[in-house]
Every structure is written in structure tokens, then in C-alpha cells.
Amino acid sequence: MTAGSMGDISRLWRDERSRGVIFQLMLVLGLALFIAFIVSNTIANLQSANLASGYKFLKDTASFDINQRLIEYSSTSTYRRALVVGGLNTILVAALGIAMATLLGFVAGVLRLSPNFLINRIVGIYIEVTRNVPVLLQIIFWWVILLALPKVRESLKIGDTIFLNNSGISTPAPVFLEGFSFVLIALAVGLLGTFVIARWSRSRQAATGQTFSVGWTSLTLIVGLPLVTFFAAGQPLDWNVPVANRFGRLRGGVSITPELIALWLALSVYTGAFIAEIVRAGIQSVSKGQTEAASALGLPRGLTMRKIVLPQALRVIIPPLTSQYLNLTKNSSLAVAIGYQDIVSIGDTVLNQSGQALEVISIFMGFYLTLSIVTSLFMNWYNKRIALVER
């Protein structure tokens, strides 16, 4: 090696940026070698134990039933279909939980700051008790309460259409008739119109200072337009009402299992308590001068909270709120404790039947990783959208 090349290497090493790139390349190379070692060692161990690796087993027949499903499934379906059903069940309970926990958390967070002593203390007790009891125990608690309901033959009835018993809740199922697609088109037009009017209202207010009642217009477009279309199309909707047969069993309608209800309630109540504290902290981060100025202008407390305090508090609320959404999604895997057939519960059955432990666990990890990344990307997008724009 010549003296010139040695000098070039020496200068390259002394340069802080170049040295940083070299260290990063070495780290990536070392990580790649470590992963390659783990993979090769795992394959060798599987071969020595006469265990086949790969995901071909997903095409095999599942040979077990699933009582909670959103798509068609039978015992003759494949393992792949079973895992898809379990994944949809997980997404269902996570979506329902996030919606309910957000509503509960924001209401409780605002009421936690209420000057009313009784309301303040009741909400405070809910938050402190719920946050300090493990979520698994709360899941089991709600499940036991639902199992203590009357048997199917002694179901509690609401108007002879809704039945509540220890097997869950049976409600009428909608049957969409010919022409209902026009109602859906009207709903889509209403949503699009609401979006356009809301943008126009903000631009108009910024330019002229004049406000426009977007709320009533949105209600008319989203509710009124589809409703008028529904009656104009001849009411293309029927209901399949659950009916008890002579053996006391319910036929027809939609049955919601107690496991789903218990898991949904537990995750919503538990996560809602944490969200309530996040909302309270976000509201208290807004300067009191903002509310005092609004009060001096004669604005009502409710309008001050909606238009002045919450928009500013959201910039503090959104980042920790994202973490709570991710925690709720991952906590849904505790459904296996009460027999709710989510992806983990169904995957355990697939694992026991096929013996493909590594592959099934990798599917679990990939599923929850994808779900968490999608949630994080959406919340990060929303966080940037409401961020303050410096001029």
C-alpha cells in the first residue's frame, strides 16, 4: 500500500462524518451476520429434530370450528383461513376498544376537572381503581358477570327483539334488499359534501371572519340525504329477528358472544382511565389566560372547551394517546384467558395441531407489528396535521 493511499485512509478516518458512516456499515454488517447465524442454527436444529420448516402447513385442513367469525369459515377450511378469521377478530375488538376508550377517556378527563365535587370524586375513584387493577383480572371480572346472566330459556328480553343471556346478546340482523346501494351512494355523497363545505367554511372564516353553521349542514347531508333516499327507494332494508324455538334456543339474528363483550368492556374501561389522565394533563397544559380571555369575551364554558382549550391540548394529548392505542391492541392478546378466539387463541390451536411453533409465532409477531405500525403511522399523520405552523 502506497503512502498516498495510507494518507487518504487516514484523512477518511479523521473526518467525523465518514467515520460515522463506517461505524454504521460495520454495525449493519455485524447485525446481518448475527441474524444469518441465528437462522442457520435454527434450520439445523429443526432438521436434526426431523421437523419440517416453512409455511406450507397453512394449506392443510384446520379440522376445528370457530364460533366468532366475520367471514365464512368451516372446519374444512385451511389453517390460513383460520388465522385470517382470528386476525379479523383481533382487529374487531381493537377497533371497538379504541373507539370506546377514546370516548370514555375524553369525557372522564374533562369531568375530572369539573368544579362539581361529587362528579370530580366519582371520576377520580374510577380512574384510580381501574388503573391499579391488572387488565387481565378486569377481563375475567366482566366475563364472570356476563356468565352469571340467565340461561337462554330465561333470556332477558327487550321488546321481543333483543335477547340477553349467558350466551351473549342476540340482536336483529339487517338484511339489505335491492336498491340499498342507492342509500350507500347518498351517504358517500353526504360525507364528501360535508368535507367540501367544512374546507370552504374554514377558508371563508380565515378570509372574512364570518362563520358558517357546518354542524347542521353536515347533519342534513350525512343523515337527511340517505334517509330521504331510503324512503324514496322503497325502504330496501329488512331485519332478521332472533326467535326462540320450542327447545328454547335462539335462531336468526346476530349473536354477540360474552367473551367479545367482556374483552371489549375491560379493554375500553382500563385504557379509558389512562386516556382520561392524558386528557386532563393536556387540558391543564393550556395556559389559564386562554380560558380567562374567553370568559371575559362571554363565551360559554362548553364552547371555550371545544374551540379554544381542546384544539391546543390535542398537541400534548396525541403522542401519549398513540401509546395507549398500541397498548390496547397488544392487550387484546389476553383474550386467550377467557376463550375469545382471536389470532393468538386460534394460532395456539394451529400450533398444537401442526407443530410449527416457530412459523406460528412469527405470524403472531408480524401481525401485531403490522397493526401497530399502521396505527402509529395514522396517529403520526394526524399529529403533524394539527401541529402549530410557525411563520
Given a contact cutoff of 8 angstroms between Cβ atoms, the answer to whether 343 and 69 are in contact is no
| pLDDT tens per residue, range 336-363 | 888 888 999 998 998 888 888 888 888 9
Please report, to the nearest 10 degrees, the dihedral formed by the alpha carbons of residues 196, 198, 199, 204 taken in order: 120
- Nearest in space to 126 (alpha carbons), one of 281, 275, 269, 261: 269
Q: What is the pLDDT of residue 358?
A: 81
**DSSP assigned state of 333:** G
Cell numbers at residue 298, please?
362571554
Q: Determine the 3-state secondary structure of 268 from DSSP.
A: helix
Q: Which distant-in-sequence residues (6+ apart) come within 8 Å of 192 by Cβ?
A: none
Q: Is the pLDDT score of 335 beyond 60?
A: yes
Quote the percentage of the chain above a pLDDT of 70: 91
Domain locations along the chain:
15-51, 79-148+272-385
79-148+272-385 folds as MetI-like fold (1.10.3720)
pLDDT grade for 386, boundaries at 50, 70 and 90: confident
Please tell me the distance from the alpha carbon of residue 262 to that of residue 259, in angstroms, as a whole number: 5
Q: Is the pLDDT score of 303 beyond 60?
A: yes
Identify which has the larger pLDDT, 169 or 141. 141
Q: What is the pLDDT of residue 8?
A: 60
Please tell me the distance from the alpha carbon of residue 356 to that of residue 44, in angstroms, as a whole number: 15
Q: List, in sequence order, every residue forming a beta bridge with 239; answer none if it has no partner.
A: 174
Highest mean pLDDT among 182-196, 198-212, 305-319: 182-196
Q: What is the pLDDT of residue 325?
A: 95
Average pLDDT taken over every residue of the chain: 85
Please tell me the distance from the alpha carbon of residue 121 to that of residue 124, in angstroms, as a whole number: 5
| pLDDT tens per residue, range 8-47 | 666 666 667 777 777 788 888 988 888 888 777 766 766 6
Q: What is the pLDDT of residue 390?
A: 47
- Nearest in space to 221 (alpha carbons), one of 263, 258, 188, 254: 188
Q: Is the pLDDT score of 232 beyond 80?
A: yes
Average pLDDT over residues 141-156: 85
Given a contact cutoff of 8 angstroms between Cβ atoms, the answer to whether 282 and 318 are in contact is no
Quote the percentage of the chain above a pLDDT of 90: 29
Q: Is the pLDDT score of 93 beyond 80?
A: yes
pTM over 0.75: yes
Identify which has the larger pLDDT, 378 or 3. 378
| pLDDT tens per residue, range 265-294 | 999 999 999 999 999 999 888 888 888 888
Q: What is the pLDDT of residue 391?
A: 45
